[in-house]
Structure 1
Amino acid sequence: MSGPAPLGVVVDLDDTLYPQADYLASAAAAVGVAAGSAGLDGAAVHAALRSELAAGSDAGGTIDRALLAVGVPASALAEVVPPLVAAFTLHSPPRLSPYPGVEESLRQLVAAAPLACLTDGNPAIQAAKVAATGLGPLLPVVVVSDSLGGRAVRKPHPAGLLAVAGRLGLPPGRLLVIGDRPGKDVAVAAAVGARSIRVRQGEYAAAPDEPRAEAVVDTFPEAAELALDLIGALTHG
């Protein structure tokens, strides 16, 4: 890695700090319960939704497609979908376990440099995830890109990272972004001239390194150690 040392660190949330599959499984179960309460086959809806989410969690309309898959007619979707979407959106999982070593790594980072989290998604959902991981006290600044303009400003749109830079009082180009998705986390860093480290884990672990981060590692603690080294916070001896 070359260039000026980063002055602040920005971490992604989903599949960077904890496995997003755990949240999706929990939310899908909540939708299944709501479907059962609405007179549908809750178990079938639950299974169909899990299948849809496994095919790609970024895609919209997953609940619609799950209902169609279990035989709900398209003409009934307008009535059936909204309460199920509400069950998904309002779901607050009791606990989401961070990846091993994440909590200690965040403690080291927040003690060494300004630290923030930049995440895409429904603000209520993302807030529930942060709360369930128990990592909130270690993330002094959390910016949810959707709160700045909806899906249109999700990463790699630079709006979220620029907002983080403003909250931290740092030049955008002096940030270091740690995330799991090249097309989002690495790309948004490149969009503002910032540096990045990719963590190869979660749903997109096998995605190609395009664009390529300055470093690619397998775990968040590895990424944090690199970040600390770059900002001069590690003592070697």
Structure 2
Amino acid sequence: MPLGVVVDLDDTLYPQADYLASAAAAVGVAAGHAGLDGAAVHAALRSELAAGSDTGGTIDRALLAVGVPASALAGLVPPLVAAFTRHTPPRLTPYPGAEEALRALAAAAPLACLTDGNPAIQAAKVAATGLGPLLPVVVVTDTLGGRVVRKPHPAGLLAVSTRLGLPPERLLVIGDRPGKDVAVAAAVGARAIRVRQGEYAAAPDEPRAWAVVDTFPAAAELALDLVGALARG
């Protein structure tokens, strides 16, 4: 039975900071249309996102930071959140060598992408990277039950296992976050390669991955070696 390779998206295939900067600019424009200081909201939102991109409530905190009273948030936040979620970046450039490495993986093993987040946002990101044709299976965990089934919850990886027709322990996960990508692999008895890049590059290696590298191409090379070794028996 072959080994399937499962790749993360954000900060694994491309720098998520590029998407966040683009989306924050869109929110700044929408804030200007709402009568706020769009440049100030843009700057405050970028600061909030830099402090932690998946903490939630970033737009609320950005508005408070520029002096918007808490009593006004209920009317202002929803259209700004809509501007963020509907934003379609024109282009997100993959990390150097990522496209070639992904192409090699796609030719050698069953391949899938497992990513957390708003489904519309994640679809826009995949399209903007231009990597969609190399990812025959894309599972967005939020479609399986919302934020509560985001990695390291095993639901997403089990869904990938079903889509690829492989037992979960026959998967190899490549991702940047130990607490999500490595942990979700461990939850189903699979291997993981951690890539030290992006927002969580300095995060401690806990839980420990099967291997730790600095770039996605290096991770792909290890994955290809393992695929070949297992195929040879």
**TM exceeds 0.5?**
yes
Give, in angstroms, the shift of residue 154 of structure 1. 0.2
Task: Give structure 2 stretches of 5+ with no counterpart.
Answer: none
Normalising by the residue count of structure 1, what TM-score does the alignment of the two structures yield? 0.96
Q: What is the count of residue pairs matched by the alignment?
A: 232
Give, in angstroms, the shift of residue 208 of structure 1. 0.1
Partners of 1:28 and 1:235 in 2: how far apart?
46
Partner of 1:75, secondary structure, is helix
Q: Give 1:77's match in structure 2, choosing from 73, 77, 81.
A: 73
Partner of 1:155, secondary structure, is coil
Q: Contact between 1:11 and 1:118, CA under 8 Å: does it hold in 2?
A: yes
Give, in angstroms, the shift of residue 69 of structure 1. 0.4
- Alignment CA distance shift 1:154-1:201 (3 Å): same
Q: Give 1:92's match in structure 2, choosing from 85, 88, 106.
A: 88
Normalising by the residue count of structure 2, what TM-score does the alignment of the two structures yield? 0.97
- Alignment CA distance shift 1:225-1:234 (3 Å): farther
Q: Give 2:185's match in structure 1, choosing from 186, 189, 193.
A: 189
Partners of 1:164 and 1:38 in 2: how far apart?
42
Partners of 1:192 and 1:60 in 2: how far apart?
27
Q: Contact between 1:112 and 1:233, CA under 8 Å: does it hold in 2?
A: no
Moved over 4 A (4+): 233-237
Q: Deviations over 1:185-236 (max 9, x none)?
A: 0000000000000000000000000001010000000000000000108999
Give, in angstroms, the shift of residue 7 of structure 1. 1.1
Partner of 1:234, secondary structure, is helix
Partner of 2:159, secondary structure, is helix
- Alignment CA distance shift 1:37-1:216 (3 Å): same
Give, in angstroms, the shift of residue 125 of structure 1. 0.2
Partners of 2:229 and 2:86 in 1: how far apart?
40
1:167 aligns with 2:163: yes
Give, in angstroms, the shift of residue 22 of structure 1. 0.2
Partner of 1:197, secondary structure, is strand
* Identity fraction in percent: 90
- Alignment CA distance shift 1:162-1:234 (3 Å): closer
Partner of 1:221, secondary structure, is helix
Partners of 2:44 and 2:136 in 1: how far apart?
37
**1:198-213 alignment runs, 5 A limit:** 198-213=194-209
Partner of 2:112, secondary structure, is strand
- Alignment CA distance shift 1:193-1:235 (3 Å): closer
After the TM superposition, which of the residue ranges 6-15 and 123-132 deviates more from structure 2? 6-15
After the TM superposition, which of the residue ranges 156-165 and 227-236 deviates more from structure 2? 227-236
Q: Contact between 1:228 and 1:234, CA under 8 Å: does it hold in 2?
A: no
Partners of 1:233 and 1:14 in 2: how far apart?
29
Give, in angstroms, the shift of residue 51 of structure 1. 0.2
Q: Deviations over 1:73-102 (max 9, x none)?
A: 000000000000000000000000000000
- Alignment CA distance shift 1:234-1:169 (3 Å): closer
Partners of 2:15 and 2:189 in 1: how far apart?
28
Aligned to 1:40: 36
Partner of 1:216, secondary structure, is strand
Partners of 1:106 and 1:205 in 2: how far apart?
21
Q: Deviations over 1:89-137 (max 9, x none)?
A: 0000000000000000011001001000000000000000000000000
CA RMSD after TM alignment: 1.9
Give, in angstroms, the shift of residue 37 of structure 1. 0.5
Partners of 1:99 and 1:42 in 2: how far apart?
30
Partners of 2:146 and 2:232 in 1: how far apart?
44
